[in-house]
Amino acid sequence: MNCVSVKIEKKKLKQTDLKNFAWNIGHQYNIDSEVLAMFVVNLFHSWFKNTEKGTIQKTLHNTTGTYSIKIDENILEHLPELEEKVLGKKHK
């Protein structure tokens, strides 16, 4: 298994973008919001080091405002399109 290191510039994304990212994944697989909050805290530790897990849990799903990562309730249906956009891969 390959491991990829990703650096996210704080200027480009907001905390809400990262919570929306987690929610998009969790919603598709019915992952509990408490588990998603822990995922956010651990994966994006430097962004959320001063934020309580309960606060993250309550605000995982945010549709108010303009964000780089939007809520997508059907993200699995859009994966081929997203892969093409992000990775340049075309599906047959």
Q: What is the pLDDT of residues 19-64, one digit of tens each?
A: 999 999 898 889 999 999 999 999 888 889 999 999 999 999 888 8
Choice between 7 and 1, residue whose per-residue pLDDT is larger? 7
Average pLDDT, the chain: 84
Separation of alpha carbons 29 and 32, rounded Å: 9
- Which tokens hold the place of 73? 């309730």
Query: What pLDDT does residue 13 have?
Result: 87
Q: What is the pTM of this model?
A: 0.73
- Residue 4: HSE in the Cβ half-sphere, 13 Å Cα cutoff: 3
Separation of alpha carbons 84 and 51, rounded Å: 34
User: What single-letter amino acid sits at 66?
Assistant: T
- Which tokens hold the place of 67? 């964000």
Range 1-25 average pLDDT: 80
Residues in the chain: 92
Residue 5 pLDDT level (bands cut at 50, 70, 90):
low
